[in-house]
A and B are shown apart, each in its own frame.
Chain A
Amino acid sequence: MRLPPRLRPIAPPILPALTLLALLGPVVAGLLGTVMAGFGHLPAAGLSGPSTEPLRALLAWPGIVPAIQLSLQTGGAATLISLAVVVLLVAGWEGTRPFRILLRLLSPLLSVPHAAAAFGLMFLIQPSGWIARGLSPWFTGWDRPPDLLLVQDPMGIALIAGLVAKEVPFLLLITLAALGQIDSDGRRKVAAALGYGRIAGWVFTVLPALYPRIRLPVYVVLAYSMSVVDVAMILGPNTPPPLSVQIVRWMGDPDLQMRSLASAAALVQLALVVSALTLWRLAEFVTGHIAAHLAYRGTRWAGDGWLRTAGLGIGTVSVVAILAGMLGLVVWSFAARWTFPAVLPEAMTLKTWHRSAPPAMATLGTTIVIACSATLIGLVLTIGCLETEERRHLRLTQRGLWLLYVPLLIPQTAFLPGMQTGLLSFGIDGTLWAVIFAHLVFVLPYLRLSLEGPYKSWDTRQAAVAAAMGASAGRIFLGLRLPMLLAPILTACAVAMAVSVGQYLPTLLVGGGRVQTLTTEALALASGGDRRAIGVYAVLQAAIALLPFALALAVPALVWRNRRGLRHG
């Protein structure tokens, strides 16, 4: 007799255990290494601790206070502004035409690598940039660029702008996914019927249900913005730089003892992120109470036209800025001589492409192998977990969700150096496998995030019908569930590949320089600031991240050309 799936004996949950190990093992081991080095225990440099010497040396560094302030200020402001823009956009414009146009641009925006976006933005806004060129000399009277500190300004405004432009698309994507689970349409209609303005109605009725679902991604944005390295190197101030950039500089010092200083700074960075997250949580609480108070007063806030315009304005500007910056880089990659204040190059040439494309192509293979392997392993683990949970009727608790996010919440600078030392002692650093496993740490959370919703919302009555017809659990899984979830699975894979392609620090530190990807090449070139070569790499990087998204759309449309309901994730 065939037992229904849930009554059959079940194997021990190997896949969830493996997933947890792959996710947390490297992070915990890395953190441990950082803690030891931060407290002066670093046998590689002839230091044995524990001692507070590195911490004292860090506090004696004259830049410590401004560096910390910068990290807090830029990270906090970038997150706050990004969230506000997303709220205004979704609240004010969901379901309208401009909103749909913005959405169509989301995937390309997400696939532009951070460093390339930062370079593009820099070329746009610096005093000798595209905007200034467009206005000079006929409007501004400038025949040479003014000496203005627009980029790398001490307040980090350019850095904040760069982060906002990249984080808004990410938060928007997450928000849209969450909206599907809470019937935002119905809520908004009720509020509108009661005479509330679009934004107030949305904030009072949709946001309270939505926010808990996007809280962790918001925290990820906060942690990321506070500890970002590549974007900060390009757009951020450098006298002193934000703490994260200084950590990487110390890591690169020929004097190995500086590693302990870097580790101590990484611990301070971790403490900063934790405090900022705590503060943010408190602020959520306070804001919630204020909002509730306002809601009870019953004011309708109907005249919100200017706020809607502002939201759409900022959203459009950030989208246009990234696209125009990328276009600028593309033009640079074909540019012959191009001096200020010319809006376009004197002539176009393929020279840069001839020079830069062959070495870039050589790393393309490695980049794709790593991205595909990490994605595939991640996919098996994630679906394995989801299926196990399904069969055992487990639900991921809030705490479990936090665990999933740990690699994204802890600054990379805090655990990657320790992870590198750990891998080295096993003798497997610098290999392709080591890099794949390092990428897996960052790919897993995104896979889970993208798949969780579609997987859980699959109608299980179809499984019941199939089981009643005698199908085994395995057959239901392989023959029914997976094919029906083809579209969301492919989308999840595309997200995961984009994440893997974009990894810089993990590839550099764990790969020991032996494993080179497009991103490590691009960042090495970026240190030279050659806009033409950066243009070539940015185009290739964006293309390779964009291609999976295109496939994720095309393949289901082709496979399910006669099954309309299955074409979209």
Chain B
Amino acid sequence: MKRMLSLVIAVLPFAAWADPDPADWNAVLTEARGQTVHWHAWGGSTATNDFITWVGARLTADHDITLTHVKLENTADAVTRVLTEKSAGQDTQGAVDLIWINGANFAAMKSADLLFGPFAEALPNWQYADTATKTLRHDFTVPTEGYESPWAMAQVVFMHDTDDLPDRLGSMNALLDWARSHPGRFTYPQPPDFLGTTFLKQALVDLTADSAALAAPVSEETYVEVSAPLWEYLDDLTPLLWRNGRAYPQSGPRQLQLISDDEIDLAISFSPGEASTAIANYQLPESVRTFVLDKGTIGNASFVAIPYNSGAKAAAMVVADFLLSPEAQLRAQDPAVLGYGTVLDVTALPAQYQTAFQDLDLGPATLSPQDLGTVLPEPHPSWMTRIAQEWVARYGVGN
């Protein structure tokens, strides 16, 4: 009956406006043929760009889909774009077909009804997704409800140049102590940069006594009290930073260059495999290793979402599904390519992929899944916005 219904819909002239139904995957595949997907994703990392190029080549070969990587400086550009289109009444054939997204941008788009879905849990490869131990159904505490599909796991690690800083540091306070004896050898990307804000959140999670408050939206009563240890900490740390905190790197990858130039010895990363990949690409010295904090570090999944007005929803879903496939996940985890953690439950995979994942050499600077320790949940996105704002007021305009 359902198939007949879709057949009826298919022959009706207004079928073009009907959204594809992910439950009928064959129909999705048929509709996707020949479509072009504009994937808006941050373009500042050469490794990611190369991976997306490979994805595009595979999709062209298998499904006759053209994948265009629209390289953003800032993911918010894509969000703004869709919002602008909606307010201009452009409800079909929008410029954005797929966005690499998470956190505040997802929360904003979801609450403004700018997303197509739910589709994620109907994708064929969702069956392998590790929903038990990985936070694939929540994004910064906001339920995803199938409106975005995961494709990589991220967790905070610290990259250290063992020539200058041989031992790991166990906590944010240990980091401060080390900075006291080695002033000018650490910095973090300038908030509101995503990774810079992540550093602030990591510090907050490690320092605050009230971690339960972080799971809920910021409340005016508790904000000052909960965030006080963070500002106290930063007041101590800032003069000990690279350039005395008077200048900051403008993005995560800039830190790699700083370590390579031997300007700093320690930097934060949101990808456990980034250091190994960067070593392979000559972007980091071979002496770099990574560590996590004793209490654990925050982690989350990177997702892709499809805007409500995309003109290529079927093909966009095929891209999302391919990103979830064991083949793509294996390649993404290879440090020679990307070094991103997989979102799949490796034990549930077909045997040949299980061995392939086990045989994968994670690279000299990547911690094994056991050594990555406890994954702490992200605070609610409202915390991110709030502390980034206060950071700017306190340290961002000080000169």
The answer to the question of B210 belonging to the interface, with a C-beta cut-off of 8 Å to chain A, is no
Asked whether B397 lies within 8 Å of A62 as measured between CB atoms, the reply is yes
Most buried by B among A251, A337, A358: A337
A520-538 CB contact bits vs B (8 Å, 1 = yes)? 1101110111111100000
B104 CB to closest chain A CB (Å) equals 6
Q: In the complex, A400 Cα to B73 Cα: how many Å?
A: 38
Q: Is B263 interfacial (CB-CB < 8 Å)?
A: yes
Q: How far is the CA of A48 from the CA of B79 in the complex (A)?
A: 21
Choose among A44, A239, A355 the residue that contacts B50 (Cβ–Cβ < 8 A): A355
When distances are taken between beta carbons in the complex, the residues of chain B under 8 Å from A358 are 53
- Report yes or no: B247 in contact with A523, Cβ–Cβ below 8 A: no
CB-nearest residue of chain B to A61? B397
Most buried by B among A151, A154, A520, A527: A527
Cβ-defined contact, B254 with A529, below 8 A: yes
Partner of A529, one of B105, B190, B249, B262: B249
Query: Is A253 part of the contact surface with B, judged by Cβ < 8 Å?
Result: yes
**B267 interface residue per 8 A CB criterion:** no
The A231-266 residues at the B interface (CB cut-off 8 A) are 233, 237-240, 251-256, 259
Q: Does B229 contact A (CB under 8 A)?
A: no
B88 within 8 A of A: yes
In the complex, B71 has a CB within 8 A of chain A:
yes
- B81 near A527 with CB under 8 A, answer no
Which A residues touch B245, using CB under 8 A? 239
Q: How far is the CA of A149 from the CA of B244 in the complex (A)?
A: 9
Residues of the B chain whose Cβ atoms lie less than 8 Å from the Cβ of A153: 247
Contact: B282 with A336, CB < 8 Å?
yes
Contact partner, B88, options A259, A355, A425, A525, Cβ 8 Å: A425
Question: What is the distance, in angstroms, from B380's C-beta to the closest C-beta of chain A?
Answer: 16
| Interface mask (B81-122 → A, CB under 8 Å = 1, otherwise 0) | 101110110100001100000001100100000000000000
Q: A424-B90, A513-B72, A527-B251 are in contact. Are A66 and B399 (CB under 8 A)?
A: yes
A338–B260 contact, CB under 8 A?
Answer: yes
What residue of chain B has the Cβ atom nearest to residue A151's Cβ? B247
Q: Give per-residue flags for B358-384: 1 if the beta carbon is below 8 A from chain A beta carbons, else 0.
A: 000000000000000000000000000
Tell me, in angstroms, the Cα distance from A567 to B70 when the chains sit together. 44
Contact of B257 with A530 in the complex, beta carbons under 8 Å: yes
Residues of A within 8 A of B256 (CB): 529-530
Interface presence of A544 (CB below 8 A): no
Q: From B37-45, B165-173, B218-226, give the one contacting chain A.
A: B37-45
CA distance A513 to B190 in the complex (A): 24
**A339 in contact with B262 (CB, 8 Å):** yes
The answer to whether A359 and B49 touch (CB under 8 A), given A253-B76, A430-B95, A531-B257, is yes
C-alpha gap A145/B246 in the complex (Å): 17
Query: Please, which residue of chain A has its CB at the minimum distance from the CB of B89?
Result: A425
A82 CB-CB contact with B under 8 Å: no
* CB atoms of A254 and B253 under 8 A apart: no
Known: A128-B261, A240-B399, A528-B253. A256 touches B247 (CB 8 A): no
- Asked if A528 meets B251 with Cβ closer than 8 Å, knowing A254-B108, A338-B282, A513-B81, the reply is yes
B282 close to A355 (CB less than 8 A): no
Check if A527 sits within 8 Å of B44, measured CB to CB.
yes
Contact of A524 among B44, B79, B392 (CB under 8 A): B44
Interface centre among A256, A355, A530, A532 (most CB of B within 10 A): A530
Contact present for A529 and B251 (CB under 8 Å): yes
Q: Is B285 an interface residue (CB 8 A)?
A: yes
Do B247 and A238 touch (CB < 8 A)? yes
Given contacts A238-B250, A239-B399, A359-B49, contact A145 B263 (CB under 8 A): yes
CB contact under 8 A between A128 and B262, given known A147-B184, A154-B246, A513-B95: yes
The one of B70, B95, B282 in contact with A335, judged by C-beta atoms closer than 8 angstroms, is B282
Q: Does B78 contact A (CB under 8 A)?
A: yes
Tally the A-B contacts, defined by beta carbons under 8 Å. 179
Bound CA–CA A528/B85 (angstroms): 28
Complex contact B247–A528 (CB within 8 A): no
Flag whether B398 is at the interface (Cβ < 8 A): yes
Residues of chain A within 8 A (CB-CB) of B38 are 513-514
Asked if A427 lies at the interface with its beta carbon under 8 angstroms from chain B, I say: yes
The answer to whether A239 touches B398, judged by C-beta atoms less than 8 angstroms apart, is: yes
A528 touches B83 (CB 8 A): no
A127 partner residues in chain B, CB cutoff 8 A: 263
Q: 1/0 contact trace for A488-522 toward B, CB 8 Å? A: 00000000000000000000000011101000110
* Contact, CB under 8 Å: B87 / A43: yes
User: Is A63 located at the chain interface by the 8 A CB criterion?
Assistant: yes
| Complex-state Cα separation, A67 to B190, whole angstroms | 17
Indicate which residue in A45, A336, A514, A523 contacts B70 across the interface (CB closer than 8 Å).
A514
Q: Is the CB of A44 within 8 A of B250?
A: no
Indicate if A280 sits at the interface (CB-CB under 8 A). Answer: no
- B74 contacts chain A at the CB level, 8 A cutoff: yes
User: Contact at B83–A44, with CB atoms within 8 Å?
Assistant: yes
Interchain CB contact (< 8 A) of A516 among B50, B53, B71, B79: B71
Least CB distance, B320 to chain A, in whole angstroms? 19
Contact indicator A340/B261 (Cβ below 8 Å): yes
Contacting residues, chain A, for B395 (C-beta < 8 A): 239
Q: Does B248 contact A (CB under 8 A)?
A: yes
Report A-chain residues with C-beta under 8 Å of the C-beta of B77.
252, 513
Known contacts A149-B246, A240-B399, A529-B251; A524 and B184 CB within 8 A of each other: no
B315 to nearest A CB, angstroms?
16
**Does A524 lie within 8 Å of B108, measured CB to CB?**
no
Give the CA-CA distance A256 to B86 in the complex, in Å.
Answer: 12
A254 touches B397 (CB 8 A): no
User: Does B243 count as interface, using CB distance less than 8 angstroms?
Assistant: yes
A44 lies within 8 A of B87 (CB): yes
Kindly state the separation between the CA atoms of A252 and B84 in the bound complex, as whole angstroms. Answer: 12
The listed residue with most A CB atoms (<10 A of its CB), out of B71, B105, B108, is: B71
Query: Would you call A239 and B247 a contact (CB within 8 A)?
Result: yes
Chain A nearest CB from B98 CB (Å) reads 12
Residues A63 and B79 in contact, CB atoms below 8 Å apart: no
B283 within 8 A of A: yes
Within 8 Å by CB of A525, from B46, B283, B393, lies B46
Q: How far is the CA of A483 from the CA of B348 in the complex (A)?
A: 74
User: In the complex, how many angstroms separate the beta carbon of B369 from the nearest chain A beta carbon?
Assistant: 27
Residues of A within 8 A of B40 (CB): 513
CB pair A528 B261 closer than 8 Å: no
Interface status of B396 (Cβ within 8 A of chain A): yes
Residues of A within 8 A of B246 (CB): 149, 154, 237, 239
Determine which residue in A61, A421, A516, A525 has the highest number of CB atoms from chain B within 10 A of its CB, and name it: A525
User: CA A338 – CA B257 in complex, angstroms?
Assistant: 10
Interface residues of B in 27-42 (CB under 8 A from A): 38, 40
Asked if residues B80 and A252 are in contact (CB atoms below 8 Å), the reply is: yes
The docked-state distance in angstroms from the alpha carbon of A63 to that of B396 is 8
Q: How far is the CA of A66 from the CA of B261 in the complex (A)?
A: 30
A144 within 8 A of B: yes
Hey, what's the 0/1 contact readout for A328-368 against B, CB within 8 Å counting as 1? 00000001111111000000010100011011000000000
Q: Does B308 touch A at the CB level, under 8 Å?
A: no
Q: Which residues of B contact A34 (CB under 8 A)?
A: none
Bitwise, A48-79 to B at CB < 8 A (1) or not (0) is 00000000000001110011000000000000
- Which residue of the partner chain, among B108, B243, B283, contacts A530 with CB atoms under 8 Å? B283
Taken together as a complex, chains A and B put the C-alpha atoms of A359 and B56 apart, in Å, by: 12
In the complex, chain A residues whose CB is within 8 Å of the CB of B90:
424, 427
User: In the complex, what distance in Å separates the CA atom of A153 from the CA atom of B247?
Assistant: 8
Partner of A424, one of B49, B88, B104, B263: B88
A382 at the interface (CB under 8 A from B): no
Asked if B242 is at the interface (CB within 8 A of a chain A CB), the reply is: yes
Closest 6 CB pairs of A and B: A528-B44, A63-B397, A44-B87, A147-B184, A128-B261, A529-B254
Q: List 18 A-B residue pairs with CB atoms under 8 Å apart, sorted by A's residue number.
A: A43-B87, A44-B87, A149-B243, A149-B244, A237-B246, A238-B248, A252-B80, A254-B76, A254-B80, A338-B260, A341-B262, A430-B95, A513-B40, A513-B72, A525-B46, A525-B71, A527-B250, A528-B252
Q: Known contacts A66-B399, A527-B251, A528-B45; can you find 6 more A-B pairs with CB under 8 A?
A: A145-B263, A152-B243, A425-B88, A524-B73, A525-B46, A528-B43
